[in-house]
């Protein structure tokens, strides 16, 4: 017996929404999905009129859907935004070069200008080279830190006002869980905010318009709209700690579909005791970007890579910051600790 | 490791090897330190020990016994009672099994010589509604600070004789394990109207808390000690996050839980990992009874709580610091308490779990997003809060999927899902959503819900005449 769409009741339902369990027809689903993102944008006041916004595009489903929806909403509700695509090339063969092709296709399909920045030109290191030095376990740290900076630098080159990324509800929920498991109180407090604080010190605010959209719904949307995206996992991802949090979240979702939003709700409503030590925001003394220590993380990581001490950025190393700044050589003992593990 | 003389018999935490006597000392010291550091138990206070029969709560019992016994250098100074709740009716255990485990526990309790209460969960159906109202803790200015209280007690101790203490302890023991068949049926109906195991466990937990609270209040106990270990609390923290209880995390897993007002729940065993407790009870023969619960022998994905437990245990295997990291995270949280006023409306607390409501719809919050999604996926009803049951029933049947705001099966008189929802916090809403028929809830919950409904309606009618929020007996006309 065919089920009718629960919204328009006229057309036949073709899918069941993972988020609420209602059955909807194609057009009602598109409309509901886009409306929710519009509500998110409006109620959080993410954008102002006339701004230039860079969309972080990786060629994957999140950023493709984000680009598409932003374009649609920009026209439908007249946000008066100037949109463009910004992509980062980490230098992972077999993964990133393929996805970049997808981004180039997106550029033509959506008629948005595109800029690509690469690790090679910014730092002098590709991810493949980094993994050869660091090993398979801690490399996500490097990639993530470098990518943040790369996005910022690319955005500054293009002179945009805001960056938006395709982080979806599953990502935010995973981050909450991971921060609890790792005991990272500072991040736990900040990770559920929909946009980073804009201090005006050369830091461009980043926001997540897809924060309340389930990953499954994003895939459903892309599937029914026949959007073109690249769907392979990063080849280095199986060893990441985040994988555990992700598996847990997937199991939770199978027991109770609303748990993803529940986790985000918990993350938003929990509060930290006063008197807990929190990092204070300052600037890096070498490159001038935001940092809570004397040297920003990417400077530390780069220093480690360049000196052949890849473990410099992993673990606690505050005491060495002074030495690095002053360009002093490290003692033999310190060097031994920081060298890479031989396989 | 510590005394460097005796041979080590066990290893805790990868590096620490203990010999038998050092371990015992370490264990006892931790218990005392926990109580002493937090300074919430005053001398001569009546404290109720909630024992479930498992190793953790029985170890707690034996610690208290040891602490109160004469040989200890610094005696613990409070008056204990024991409570055990027999929830066999909810878990589906037969009457003979229940009697057997009750008898075993009774023998353990009588050995300790403390007052004990053995109560069956069916009693929940005869609770008064006062259980759901947080009592005010008496802010009596004559109440001394902890240090003063202790000094006072030491001075008085010279006059206290042995007989006084003994008589205070050997009071009437209540074994109320008899229950009427209607209550038993009602309990079974309640639990079978819950569709998911997650909701069942949540409801069981809530009902248990209410029952303990009631017994504590009736018999003048101002503190309740629960035997949650570190590992158990880590699992609880994670599963509470998954259930949406972020706002109440600190009270659910912290050392003291003040949300009931006059009765404070403390967790002195929260520093012990389950390994330590297991070693202790094995080596020093702590008597305990294993009683199967709701989620015994279920597979990993049966409920959120069960899933979290297996997740944390597996992760602990690869990363041995997982549990302690989660524990430290929980120490850094605190509950947002609205400014405490004498006449704070009880309506601002959740009906079931009695923590502050976290459902204020902030713009751009997860809760707001959920409401938006619900609206967008359905035909908009004329006035969603006052929809007639007939219309909503029609809606539900044509959809064929998931109930809308008005419960399909609710009759006109009993509170529908929609009414109950406004009185509950985020996660209790989810539990009730999993319920098929809300009329199976125990009567005290339903009456209290109706009472609060009427009060809020009254308040709405006279809202323009109220001067402030916390007027006593509201309804003073503005002049």
Residues from chain B that touch A38, judged by Cβ atoms under 8 A, are none
Tell me the residues of chain A between 314 and 343 that have a Cβ less than 8 Å away from chain B. Answer: none
pTM score of the predicted model: 0.82
Neighbours of A42 (CB within 10 A): 15
Give the pLDDT band (50/70/90) at residue B73: low
Q: Are the C-beta atoms of B426 and A265 separated by less than 8 Å?
A: yes
Write down how long chain B is: 479
Write the ipTM. Answer: 0.83
Q: Determine how β-strand B264-266 pairs with β-strand B256-257.
A: antiparallel
According to DSSP, residue B261 is labeled S
Hey, are the CB atoms on B370 and A176 less than 8 Å from each other? no
3-class secondary-structure state, position B399: helix
Least confident of A323-332, B329-338, B415-424: A323-332
Give the long-range contacts of residues B27-33, CB within 8 A, separation 24 or more: B27/B63, B27/B272, B27/B276, B27/B280, B28/B63, B28/B66, B28/B67, B30/B271, B30/B272, B31/B60, B31/B63, B31/B67, B31/B268, B31/B269, B32/B67, B32/B74, B32/B76
Q: Is some CB atom of chain B closer than 8 A to the CB atom of A10? A: no
**Comparison of pLDDT for B46 and B138, the residue scoring more:** B46
Domains and CATH numbers, chain B: 21-134+171-332 (3.40.50.620)
Cβ of residue B194 closer than 8 Å to a chain A Cβ: no
Q: Which of A153, A141, A235 is nearest to A182 (CA)?
A: A141
A298 in a labelled binding site: no
Which residue of A32, A181, A269 is in closest CB contact with B247?
A269
Residues of B in contact with A32 (CB under 8 A): 373, 376-377
CATH assignment of A38-269, given 3.40.109.40, 3.40.50.620, 3.40.30.10, 3.30.70.1280?
A: 3.40.50.620
DSSP codes joined into one string, B189-226:
HHHHTB-SHHHHHHHHHHHHHHHHHHHHHHTT--EEEE
**A261–B contact, CB cutoff 8 A:** yes
Among residues of chain A, what percentage have pLDDT more than 70? 87
- A175-200 mean pLDDT: 81
Q: Which of B236, B239, B369 to mutate to test the interface with A (most CBs of A within 10 A)?
A: B369
Whether the CB of B75 is below 8 Å from some CB of chain A: the reply is no
Which 184-213 residues of chain A touch chain B by CB within 8 A? 185, 188, 194, 211-212
Most confident of A168-177, B17-26, B316-325, B447-456: A168-177
Category of B180 on φ-ψ map: left (φ > 0), alpha (ψ -120 to 50) or beta? beta
pLDDT in tens, B446-475: 888 888 888 888 888 888 887 765 444 444
Q: In this model, does residue A28 exceed pLDDT 50?
A: yes
What pLDDT score was predicted for residue A250?
92
B162 pLDDT tier (thresholds 50, 70, 90): very low
Question: Is the pLDDT higher at A125 or at B472?
Answer: A125
Q: Are B242 and A252 in contact (CB under 8 A)?
A: yes
| High-pLDDT (> 90) share of chain B, % | 1
Classify each residue of A153-177 as buried b or exposed e, where b means 16 or more C-beta atoms within 10 Å of its C-beta: bbbeebebbbbbbbbbbbbbbbbbb
Inform me whether the pLDDT recorded for A268 exceeds 60. yes
* Domain range annotation of chain A: 38-269, 295-339
CA-CA distance, A111 to B245, in Å (whole number)? 45
């Amino acid at each position: 017996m065919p089920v009718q769409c629960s919204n328009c009741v006229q057309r036949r339902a073709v899918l069941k929404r993972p988020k609420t369990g209602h059955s909807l027809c194609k057009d009602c689903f598109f409309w509901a999905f886009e409306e929710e993102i519009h509500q998110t944008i409006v109620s959080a006041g993410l954008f102002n009129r006339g701004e230039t916004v860079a969309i972080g595009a990786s060629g994957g489903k999140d950023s493709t859907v984000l680009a598409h929806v932003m374009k649609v909403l920009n026209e439908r509700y007249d946000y008066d935004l100037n949109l463009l695509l910004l992509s980062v090339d980490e230098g992972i063969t077999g993964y990133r070069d393929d996805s970049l092709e997808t981004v180039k296709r997106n550029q033509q399909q959506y008629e948005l200008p595109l800029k690509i920045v690469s690790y090679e030109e910014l730092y002098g290191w590709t991810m493949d080279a980094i993994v050869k030095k660091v090993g398979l376990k801690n490399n996500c740290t490097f990639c993530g830190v470098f990518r943040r900076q790369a996005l910022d630098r690319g955005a500054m080159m293009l002179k945009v006002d805001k960056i938006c990324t395709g982080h979806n509800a599953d990502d935010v929920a995973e981050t909450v869980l991971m921060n609890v498991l790792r005991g990272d109180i500072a991040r736990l407090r900040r990770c559920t905010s929909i946009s980073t604080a804009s201090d005006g010190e050369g830091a461009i605010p980043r926001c997540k318009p897809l924060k309340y959209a389930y990953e499954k719904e994003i895939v459903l949307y892309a599937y029914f709209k026949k959007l073109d995206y690249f769907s392979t996992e990063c080849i280095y991802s199986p060893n990441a700690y985040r994988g555990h949090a992700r598996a847990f979240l997937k199991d939770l979702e199978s027991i109770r579909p609303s748990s993803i939003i529940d986790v985000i709700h918990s993350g938003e409503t929990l509060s930290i005791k006063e008197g807990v030590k929190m990092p204070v925001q300052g600037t890096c003394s070498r490159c001038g970007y935001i940092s809570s220590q004397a040297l920003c993380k990417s400077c530390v990581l780069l220093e480690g890579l360049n000196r052949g001490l890849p473990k410099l950025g992993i673990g606690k190393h505050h005491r060495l910051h002074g030495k690095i700044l002053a360009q002093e050589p490290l003692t033999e003992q310190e060097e031994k600790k920081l060298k890479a593990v031989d396989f | 490791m510590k005394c460097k003389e005796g041979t080590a018999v066990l290893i805790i935490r990868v590096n620490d090897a203990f010999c038998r006597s050092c371990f015992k000392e370490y264990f006892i010291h931790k218990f005392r330190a926990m109580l002493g550091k937090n300074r919430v138990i005053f001398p001569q206070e009546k404290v109720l020990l909630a024992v479930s029969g498992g190793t953790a709560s029985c170890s707690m019992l034996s610690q208290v016994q040891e602490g109160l016994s004469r040989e200890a250098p610094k005696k613990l100074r409070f008056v204990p009672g024991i409570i055990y709740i027999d929830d066999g009716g909810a878990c589906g255990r037969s009457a003979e099994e229940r009697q057997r485990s009750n008898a075993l526990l009774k023998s353990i309790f009588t050995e300790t010589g403390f007052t004990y209460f053995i109560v069956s969960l069916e009693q929940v159906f005869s609770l008064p509604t006062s259980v759901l109202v947080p009592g005010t803790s008496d802010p009596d200015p004559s109440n001394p600070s902890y240090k003063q209280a202790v000094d006072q007690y030491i001075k008085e101790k010279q006059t206290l004789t042995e007989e006084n203490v003994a008589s205070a302890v050997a009071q009437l023991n209540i074994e109320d394990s008899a229950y009427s068949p209607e209550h038993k049926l009602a309990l079974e109906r309640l639990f079978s109207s819950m569709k998911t195991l997650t909701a069942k466990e949540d409801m069981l937990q809530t009902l248990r808390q209410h029952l303990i609270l009631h017994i504590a209040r009736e018999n003048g106990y101002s503190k309740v000690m629960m035997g949650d270990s570190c590992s158990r609390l880590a699992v609880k923290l994670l599963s509470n996050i998954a259930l949406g209880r972020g706002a109440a995390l600190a009270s659910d897993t912290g050392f003291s839980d003040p949300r009931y007002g006059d009765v404070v729940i403390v967790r002195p065993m929260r520093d012990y990992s389950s390994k330590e407790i297991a070693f202790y009870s094995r080596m020093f023969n702590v008597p305990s009874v294993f009683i199967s619960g709701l989620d015994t022998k279920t597979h990993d994905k049966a409920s959120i709580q069960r899933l979290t437990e297996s997740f944390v245990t597996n992760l602990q295997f690869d990363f041995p610091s997982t549990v302690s990291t989660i524990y430290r995270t929980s120490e850094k949280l605190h509950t947002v308490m609205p400014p405490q006023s004498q006449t704070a409306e009880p309506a601002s607390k959740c009906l079931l779990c009695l923590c502050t409501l976290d459902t204020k719809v902030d713009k751009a919050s997860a809760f707001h997003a959920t409401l938006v999604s619900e609206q967008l996926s359905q035909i908009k009803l004329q006035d969603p809060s006052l929809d007639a049951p007939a219309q909503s029933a029609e809606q539900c049947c044509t959809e064929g999927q998931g109930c809308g705001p008005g419960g399909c099966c609710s009759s006109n008189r009993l509170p529908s899902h929609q009414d109950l929802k406004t009185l509950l916090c985020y996660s209790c809403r989810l539990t009730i959503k999993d319920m098929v028929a809300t009329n199976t809830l125990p009567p005290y919950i339903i009456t209290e819900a109706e009472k609060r409904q009427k009060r809020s309606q009254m308040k709405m009618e006279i809202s323009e005449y109220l001067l402030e929020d916390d007027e006593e007996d509201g309804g003073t006309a503005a002049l």
